[in-house]
Amino acid sequence: MHEVKTTCPYCGVGCGVIATTDGERITAVRGDPAHPANFGRLCTKGSTLHLTTTPYGRALHPEIRRSRDERHTRASWDETLNYLVEKFATTIEQHGPDSVGFYVSGQLLTEDYYVFNKLAKGLIGTNNIDTNSRLCMSSAVTGYKATLGADAPPACYDDLDHAELIVIAGSNAAWAHPILYRRLEDAKAKNPSLRVVCIDPRRTETARAADLHLPILPGTDVALFNAVMHWLIWEDATASEYIAAHTEGFADLRTSVRECTPAWAARVCGVREEAIVQLAQWWRESKATLSLYCQGLNQSTSGTDKNAAMINLHLATAQIGKPGAGPFSLTGQPNAMGGRETGGLANLLPGHRDIVNAEHRAEIEKFWNVPTGRIPPTPGKTAVEMFDAVKRGEIKLLWIACTNPAQSMPNLASVAESFVNAECVIVQEAFATTETAKLADVLLPASTWGEKHGTVTNSERRITRVNGVLSPPGEAKHDWEIAAEFARRLQRRLGTLTSSAGEGTALFPYATPESIFNEHRESTRSRDLDITGLSYGMLETDGPQQWPLREGEAVGKARLYEDGLFPTANSRAKFKVTPYKAIVDGTDARFPLALTTGRMRDQWHGMSRTGRVPQLYGHEPEPMITMNTNDAARRGLAAGEVVKVASRRGELLIRLAISDDVRSGQCYVPMHWGKASLSSAGSHGINVLTTSAFDPVSKQPELKHAAVRVDRAILPWQLVAFAYARDRDPVAVCDELREIASALPVETFASTTLIGNERPGVLLRLSCASAPDRATLEQIDRVLGVGGLFALAYDDARRNISRRVRVEDGRLTGVRLAGDLAAETWMRDFFLSGISVTELRQRLLAGSATAPDGFTARGKIVCNCFNVSEREIVEFYSSNDLAMMNAANKLSALQSTLKCGTNCGSCLPELRTLVSSATAAA
Ligand code: SF4
């Protein structure tokens, strides 16, 4: 056994991880106590990383399908790369460099990004390289650049400890950036006068814990920020000396917000005027204001303005460049920052340079030693534009690396057409089971977390080493290796295209990721992100470092702009006028509900990794859309029933949850559920509903909001089944069940998820207009192991009711209920808890809704680490007299008894809510 230090591959907090390995498997992970992002902590997602490294579904060998009528066949790397080189060369020669495109990922390491970017812009001569970071961070980039002059978050995690006011906007940090949120909880515990404000349409865990929650209507953030600016100006609470010395454009901004009174904003935003004034007052009183923001500001058609309007507030009050202050964009993906640093987007060049800047192009052409004019002067196609160009046939070859656009892009029906129209889709991916990998004409097996080596940059500009623990399986190769080897061959094949780079000049001479990092490092010299003082050796010996870190410097810069000088032509920051614009895809009589999307506590993006861990389904086991009580009552809808959700682009079937955490007139769905978990009505998952309308500057699409209609789905016949996967991978069992469901009529709701804690299992749910044939049920039973001689059976053909139950060693190991699900809740709990059912044999097939005497359903799992359910927590409070204790002591009492919230802490916000409810109930 030995340990390897690496980095978590999920969110932008960028936690350090120590992985333990026996040489064949990663057997455990723990937080790296020395890592300055997490100091030893990991959230639920990070602490289960080792459980995601299962072999099922890994892409192991290159595969080619030369025409869509053929099946994929296994090929050698040599054959595959030569096939691709020929395809690219002939396409480029016939149709020009812009006939090809690359769509890469914020999951790639900086070194991978660098090679892909150089391949597209430096060798092929196309700027058609964009990334899924476009869907996530590009409005933060344009917001920073429009105001501060550079794409550089000026604050750092330590600022949480110095802030007096923290404004969280468009972010459920408690779930999406859990370890950072733990630091906020610590700061609040140390300094109870720290004020926290949450701006979010939904009452999230972050909102619940805040001192002030502004549940604004979706898309109205700019109106709110402008009103706060209006109040600060009106109350003479701006920092006039700072404004005069370090900024420009304030007079125009002041004019633009003249009419933006809190009363006006209250009407636009749908919140109380007093709450807006309260925020403004707190902003005035605070000596150190930190704002934390994420997709709620970014994924919007006015994303740039939302970001800029927030930054305007910081500039106007000099809340920047000092401890505890600054506009701090939280990065969604682990290396969205690294991608920007290498210029791996359609409008960027390495070292935070811009495509449209002739000087920048010339610098990089010289740096890369490629002919002058190789880099086209106009930006390439950004994410949405790229898939549209593929659909129109302008981009003929599309190379996708380490991302799953067939699930994650908005308006998936349109994206599906792009895949059909592309001449060739190349997918470089670790998992052959993603929706996108299934559509590949050429599949290139890639390494993934636990195997890759390189660097990533987290939200606070901190660069950390990523280290491989195991070798990639099968013939999988590292992403940079694949791109570099293809590039070398293409350079040889294109010959004349590259001759002015010098005969024999090797543009891609890399033998290790370190050699790529060193070249990337040099591209940052004298730029705002200068890392010429950094090396792999320094990262190993001194640990993760923040940029800039110039040659000769021993440490990087914790916070930027402390001297009031900004990276603009005159060193002044710029106020950006941000007029409020109504949301696109607004509601009307046909689509009366505003749907917002968000993140679950225990899943990551498209779930290709977290979706492999049964424990991570305990908190939210199945895909659900949440609607307000009044809206559901008005439609006569009940919790748990299947509803049809339709937007202007598509529709899907999904089950309903009811909660007043969502305001009337709105509904909410987590963004994670794709076709792999939710296959209904021929849909591709949640993003069949979302719009591809994008911000005109950042080109980031409005994934956060869509106008929808929610109606009852008339699907009276229902089935639920759950069973242990035995010696099979539960994901493989899910895939088989989905195959069976896909043969059912289009108007069928089907969801397949994982279940279980110690023993992995699967959960299937079906709703149909009428009962499927007997053969379908038998197929399901066979896959789940609840058929034949091993199972107890009950059939009532007249009422279309059928039940199968499997009992082994006195415990339930599989259940299939069809036609009548009344007994589901208690049977599922018996199944999960492994309680003996020996005494219950008579009841197992009776289908009664009434649980056996003395049994109460456990409810949802709140603490995954110690498998503690909501019921157990409620029972603890009702059976212990804690009336005299304060909230903190009540929480400690709970933790010392049930242990919940004492490991990763991801459930702490929910535990606090349960403490408050228990206190209120008492
Ligand atoms: Fe990973 Fe959780 Fe840390 Fe994010 S907060 S980097 S998901 S461990």
User: Which among 472, 471, 430, 481 is positioned nearest to 606, based on CA atoms?
Assistant: 430
Mean per-residue pLDDT for 837-864? 84
- Number of helices (H), then strands (E), belonging to the chain: the values are 31, 36
Q: How far is it, in rounded angstroms, from Cα 345 to Cα 133?
A: 8
Whether the pLDDT of residue 268 is over 90: the answer is yes
**Burial environment of residue 759 by CB neighbours within 10 A (0 to 12, 13 to 18, 19 or more):** middle
DSSP-based three-state secondary structure for 499: helix
Whether the pLDDT of residue 872 is over 60: the answer is yes
Q: How far apart are the CA of 458 and the centre of ligand 1, in A?
A: 11
Q: How far apart are the CA of 804 and the centre of ligand 1, in A?
A: 41
Question: Is 416 near ligand 1, meaning CB less than 6 Å away?
Answer: no
Q: How far apart are the CA of 545 and the centre of ligand 1, in A?
A: 18
CA-based torsion, 228, 233, 238, 243: positive or negative = positive
Cα separations (Å) of 870 from 771, 863, 917? 35, 9, 12
Q: How far apart are the CA of 208 and the centre of ligand 1, in A?
A: 21
Which atom of ligand 1 has the smallest separation from the CA of 177? 5
Locate 669 and state its tokens.
């769905």
Whether the ω angle into residue 548 lies within 30 degrees of 0, i.e. cis, is yes
pLDDT-derived band at 499 (thresholds 50, 70, 90) equals very low
How does pLDDT run across 657-685, given as a tens digit for each residue? 999 999 999 999 999 999 888 876 556 79
* Contact (CB, 8 A) for 858 and 832: yes
Which atom of ligand 1 has the smallest separation from the CA of 46? 8
Q: How far is it, in rounded angstroms, from Cα 804 to Cα 802?
A: 7
Question: Is 309 near ligand 1, meaning CB less than 6 Å away?
Answer: no
Question: Is 201 near ligand 1, meaning CB less than 6 Å away?
Answer: no
Which atom of ligand 1 has the smallest separation from the CA of 31? 8
User: Which among 824, 819, 743, 822 is positioned nearest to 779, based on CA atoms?
Assistant: 743
Q: Which of 347-356, 390-399, 498-507 has the lowest mean pLDDT?
A: 498-507
> In testing the pocket of ligand 1, which one of 179, 181, 906, 907 has its CB within 8 Å of the most ligand atoms?
179
Angle between helical axes of 887-898 and 908-921 (0-180°, round to 10):
120
Which atom of ligand 1 has the smallest separation from the CA of 13? 6
How does pLDDT run across 71-93, given as a tens digit for each residue? 999 999 999 999 999 999 999 99
How does pLDDT run across 443-487, given as a tens digit for each residue? 999 999 999 999 999 999 999 999 999 999 999 999 999 999 999
**HEC assignment per residue over 292-334:** EECHHHHCCCCHHHHHHHHHHHHHHCCCCCCCCCEEEECCCCC
pLDDT at 293: 97
CA-based torsion, 396, 400, 406, 412: positive or negative = negative
SS3 breakdown of the chain: % helix, strand, coil, rounded to 5? Answer: 35, 20, 45
pLDDT at 676: 82
pLDDT at 918: 74
pLDDT at 680: 66
pLDDT at 917: 79
Q: How far apart are the CA of 619 and the centre of ligand 1, in A?
A: 17
How does pLDDT run across 313-346, given as a tens digit for each residue? 999 999 999 999 999 999 988 898 999 999 999 9
pLDDT at 503: 46
Q: How far apart are the CA of 604 and the centre of ligand 1, in A?
A: 10
Question: Is 323 near ligand 1, meaning CB less than 6 Å away?
Answer: no
Residue 69 gets which letter from DSSP?
Answer: T
Angle between helical axes of 303-316 and 138-147 (0-180°, round to 10):
40
Closest residue (by CA) to atom 2 of ligand 1? 43
Q: How far is it, in rounded angstroms, from Cα 379 to Cα 361?
A: 11
DSSP-based three-state secondary structure for 707: strand
- Number of Cα atoms under 13 Å in the Cβ half of residue 491: 25
The DSSP annotation for 359-383 comes to HHHHHHHHHHT--TT-S-SS----H
The DSSP annotation for 799-813 comes to GTEEEEEEEETTEEE
* Contact (CB, 8 A) for 43 and 179: yes
Question: Is 43 near ligand 1, meaning CB less than 6 Å away?
Answer: yes
Whether the pLDDT of residue 500 is over 60: the answer is no
Whether the pLDDT of residue 857 is over 90: the answer is no
Amino acid at 629: T
Neighbour count for residue 259 (Cβ, 10 Å): 10
Which atom of ligand 1 has the smallest separation from the CA of 180? 5
> In testing the pocket of ligand 1, which one of 6, 7, 10 has its CB within 8 Å of the most ligand atoms?
10
Q: How far is it, in rounded angstroms, from Cα 214 to Cα 282?
A: 14
User: Which among 45, 674, 104, 584 is positioned nearest to 299, based on CA atoms?
Assistant: 584
Whether the pLDDT of residue 175 is over 90: the answer is yes
> In testing the pocket of ligand 1, which one of 6, 7, 42, 457 has its CB within 8 Å of the most ligand atoms?
42
Which atom of ligand 1 has the smallest separation from the CA of 44? 2
Q: How far apart are the CA of 450 and the centre of ligand 1, in A?
A: 15
CA 486 to chain centre: 30
Question: Is 15 near ligand 1, meaning CB less than 6 Å away?
Answer: yes
Most confident of 839-843, 865-869, 886-890: 865-869
Question: Is 49 near ligand 1, meaning CB less than 6 Å away?
Answer: no
**Residues near 916 by beta carbon (within 8 Å), at least 6 away in sequence:** 887
* Mean pLDDT estimate for the chain: 94
Q: How far apart are the CA of 464 and the centre of ligand 1, in A?
A: 14
Match 């605070």 to its residue by tokens: 286
The residues that bridge with 652 in the sheet, in sequence order, are: 645
Q: How far is it, in rounded angstroms, from Cα 390 to Cα 405?
A: 13
Amino acid at 782: R
> In testing the pocket of ligand 1, which one of 29, 43, 600 has its CB within 8 Å of the most ligand atoms?
43
Q: How far is it, in rounded angstroms, from Cα 126 to Cα 496?
A: 16
Q: How far apart are the CA of 906 and the centre of ligand 1, in A?
A: 10
* Contact (CB, 8 A) for 63 and 84: no
Locate 648 and state its tokens.
């202007």
Which atom of ligand 1 has the smallest separation from the CA of 41? 8
Question: Is 462 near ligand 1, meaning CB less than 6 Å away?
Answer: no
Question: Is 446 near ligand 1, meaning CB less than 6 Å away?
Answer: no
**Residues near 20 by beta carbon (within 8 Å), at least 6 away in sequence:** 1, 2, 3, 26, 27, 28, 29, 30, 50
Whether the pLDDT of residue 792 is over 70: the answer is yes
Q: How far apart are the CA of 616 and the centre of ligand 1, in A?
A: 14
Contacts 24+ apart (CB under 8 A), 116-119: 116/344, 116/401, 116/479, 116/483, 117/342, 117/343, 117/344, 117/350, 118/368, 118/487, 118/507, 118/508, 119/483, 119/484, 119/486, 119/487, 119/490, 119/508
pLDDT at 505: 64
Which atom of ligand 1 has the smallest separation from the CA of 17? 8
Q: How far is it, in rounded angstroms, from Cα 749 to Cα 718?
A: 9
> In testing the pocket of ligand 1, which one of 13, 49, 171, 607 has its CB within 8 Å of the most ligand atoms?
13
Residue 562 gets which letter from DSSP?
Answer: T
Which atom of ligand 1 has the smallest separation from the CA of 604? 7
Q: How far apart are the CA of 26 and the centre of ligand 1, in A?
A: 18
How does pLDDT run across 207-250, given as a tens digit for each residue? 999 999 999 999 999 999 999 999 999 999 999 999 999 999 99
Tell me what percent of the residues of the chain surpass a pLDDT of 70: 98
Contacts 24+ apart (CB under 8 A), 470-474: 470/21, 470/23, 470/24, 470/25, 470/26, 470/53, 472/445, 472/446, 472/447, 472/448, 473/55, 473/58, 473/60, 474/58, 474/59, 474/60, 474/61, 474/445
Taking phi over 0 as left and psi of -120 to 50 as alpha, with beta for the rest, 249 belongs to left
pLDDT-derived band at 833 (thresholds 50, 70, 90) equals confident
Question: Is 616 near ligand 1, meaning CB less than 6 Å away?
Answer: no
Q: How far apart are the CA of 560 and the centre of ligand 1, in A?
A: 24
Question: Is 45 near ligand 1, meaning CB less than 6 Å away?
Answer: yes
More confident residue, 501 or 456: 456
Q: How far is it, in rounded angstroms, from Cα 361 to Cα 16?
A: 36
Locate 857 and state its tokens.
């359903």
* Contact (CB, 8 A) for 163 and 187: yes
- Number of Cα atoms under 13 Å in the Cβ half of residue 815: 27
The residues that bridge with 363 in the sheet, in sequence order, are: none
pLDDT at 648: 97
Question: Is 178 near ligand 1, meaning CB less than 6 Å away?
Answer: yes
More confident residue, 611 or 917: 611
Q: How far is it, in rounded angstroms, from Cα 199 to Cα 220?
A: 10
Q: How far apart are the CA of 757 and the centre of ligand 1, in A?
A: 21
The DSSP annotation for 640-701 comes to T-EEEEE-SS-EEEEEEEE-TTS-TTEEEEETT-BTTTB--TT--BGGGSS---B-TTT--B
Which atom of ligand 1 has the smallest separation from the CA of 47? 8
Whether the pLDDT of residue 177 is over 80: the answer is yes
User: Which among 538, 394, 489 is positioned nearest to 98, based on CA atoms?
Assistant: 394
Q: How far apart are the CA of 360 and the centre of ligand 1, in A?
A: 35
Q: How far apart are the CA of 550 and the centre of ligand 1, in A?
A: 28
Taking phi over 0 as left and psi of -120 to 50 as alpha, with beta for the rest, 909 belongs to alpha
Which atom of ligand 1 has the smallest separation from the CA of 334? 6
* Contact (CB, 8 A) for 654 and 713: no
Q: How far apart are the CA of 827 and the centre of ligand 1, in A?
A: 34
Mean per-residue pLDDT for 276-286? 98
The residues that bridge with 644 in the sheet, in sequence order, are: 653, 711
Strand order of the β-sheet with 326-329 is: 212-214, 195-199, 165-169, 289-293, 326-329
Which atom of ligand 1 has the smallest separation from the CA of 178? 5
Closest residue (by CA) to atom 4 of ligand 1? 11
Tell me what percent of the residues of the chain surpass a pLDDT of 90: 84
Question: Is 174 near ligand 1, meaning CB less than 6 Å away?
Answer: no
Neighbour count for residue 440 (Cβ, 10 Å): 23
Q: How far apart are the CA of 178 and the centre of ligand 1, in A?
A: 7
Q: How far apart are the CA of 179 and the centre of ligand 1, in A?
A: 6
Which atom of ligand 1 has the smallest separation from the CA of 43? 2
User: Which among 65, 127, 130 is positioned nearest to 96, based on CA atoms?
Assistant: 127
DSSP-based three-state secondary structure for 147: helix
Residues in the chain: 922
Q: How far apart are the CA of 430 and the centre of ligand 1, in A?
A: 20
Q: Using alpha carbons only, how large is the chain's radius of gyration in Å?
A: 28
Q: How far is it, in rounded angstroms, from Cα 298 to Cα 141?
A: 9
Closest residue (by CA) to atom 3 of ligand 1? 15
